Amino acid sequence: MAVIKAADIANYIGQEIGVSEWIEIDQSRIDNFADVTEDHQFIHIDAERAIKETPFGGTIAHGFLSLSLASQMAMDVGFGIEGSVMGINYGFDKIRFLQPVRSGKRVRGRFVLQEANERKPGQWLLKQGLTVEIEGEDKPALIAQWLMMSIIG
């Protein structure tokens, strides 16, 4: 885990803060996500039909599945401010889904610290650029600007 002092955070703006481990997006994960979200569109769960009726060559992960893995990716990277007692998901300024993730592919997250603002004493709002890469593909699955609130205790 890369733990930095709040006084030094400005030195990290614009810098890559880490790259996560690869995560496999297999059909079982896609099916489970479909069940939890009640999104059973055939492009996600019906391989035969997806082969015949889509340009993807098979099923693809839900965009929100790829995005939901950002939490695990961030845990892998482990970037934080010294003395932080919790991090709170504050939302997103921008999300763009650029390419579908085909079943059986692996993804990972690449994080860049874009902004860091102390909103109140001990409350830092961090904007991280997130790129979810697909193994073996030139184009990423998605890009996002993710906001996290870090609470210093």
pLDDT, tens digit (0-9, with 9 covering 90-100), for 90-109:
999 999 999 999 999 999 99
pLDDT digits 0-9 by tens, 49-79: 999 999 999 999 999 999 999 999 999 998 8
What confidence score (pLDDT) does residue 129 get? 98
Whether 19 has a pLDDT exceeding 60, the answer reads yes
| Structural domains present in the chain | 2-26+60-152 (3.10.129.10)
Return the percentage of the chain with pLDDT > 90, whole number: 95
Greater confidence (124 vs 153) lies with 124
Burial environment of residue 14 by CB neighbours within 10 A (0 to 12, 13 to 18, 19 or more) = exposed
| Run of H or E residues at 153 | none
Which of the 8 DSSP states describes residue 9?
A: G
Mean pLDDT value across residues 82-88: 93
| Run of H or E residues at 112 | strand 105-120
Q: CA-CA distance, 16 to 14, in Å (whole number)?
A: 7
Range list of H helices, the chain: 27-37, 42-45, 47-53, 63-68, 70-77
Task: Copy the structure tokens of residue 95.
Answer: 């999300």
Q: CA-CA distance, 132 to 141, in Å (whole number)?
A: 6
Amino acid in position 24: E
The pTM (predicted TM-score) of the whole model is 0.94
Amino acid in position 84: S
Mean pLDDT value across residues 129-139: 98
What confidence score (pLDDT) does residue 1 get? 55
